[in-house]
Amino acid sequence: MGFEKKILENKLVQDFFQRKIGEHSIQLIKLYSKGKNLTEDKLSKKIGIKVTEIRTILNKMHYLGMADYDKTRNKKTGWYNYDWRINYKRIIELMLQEQSEQLKKLEIEENTITEYSVFACKKKCDQIVFEIAVQYQFKCPSCSQNMDYINTETKSKGIKKDIKELHTTKEELLELQKVIK
Ligand SMILES: [Zn+2]
């Protein structure tokens, strides 16, 4: 096991699997990455989850292009055997994609709160720029409570910090991408 280990031991990758594919998925992929030909039954016993759960994980990954399989038929039993391959390139690609979407969202939000005066009700249902808030006569469109001007300086600082972190994440992912053979 070479670069696979480096990728699967990475905290960002592990978080991504947990979020996107679900619990136990990273455990399953680690077993696959060791290249032993494990049957679903054996995997199920090793991880302690049902065979159907293993299939769910693999199907989710297949749907996202993170895994692919070769289907062969056992001549004796007539059953199909699935040989799964993990697409590490695709995993990092999806992570970079997600990260870039988050970044875009944050940059838009950052831009909005620094460029415009923002209004919101006490419950903060929504943040509404001045021009629109006027049209609603400063009543929250969701809950009809009064909307006040909100000081966005703290929030803006928070967003800037998040943006910086996302850039660091991106660097880390690009480094990981380089080790994939
Ligand atoms: Zn409201």
Q: How far is the CA of 108 from the centre of ligand 1 (A)?
A: 22
Total domains in the fold of the chain = 2
- The encoded tokens of residue 83 equal 């040989």
Residue 84: CB partners within 8 Å, gap ≥ 6?
32, 58, 67, 68, 69
Q: How far is the CA of 103 from the centre of ligand 1 (A)?
A: 27
Mean pLDDT, the chain, whole residue set: 92
Give the structural domain span for 142.
92-179
End-of-domain residue from the set 43, 62, 86: 86
Secondary structure class of 149 (helix, strand, coil): strand
The helix or strand, by DSSP H or E, that contains position 101, with its residue range, turns out to be: helix 88-115
pLDDT tens per residue across span 96-147 = 999 999 999 999 999 988 888 899 999 999 989 999 999 999 999 999 999 9
- The encoded tokens of residue 145 equal 């409570």
Q: What is the pLDDT of residue 41?
A: 87
Q: What is the pLDDT of residue 162?
A: 96
| CATH number, residue 78 | 1.10.10.10
pLDDT tens per residue across span 67-102 = 999 888 988 888 888 888 899 999 999 999 999 999
Q: What is the pTM (predicted TM-score) of this model?
A: 0.79
**Which residue, among 85, 47, 52, has the nearest Cα to 66 in the 3D structure?**
85
Q: How far is the CA of 111 from the centre of ligand 1 (A)?
A: 22
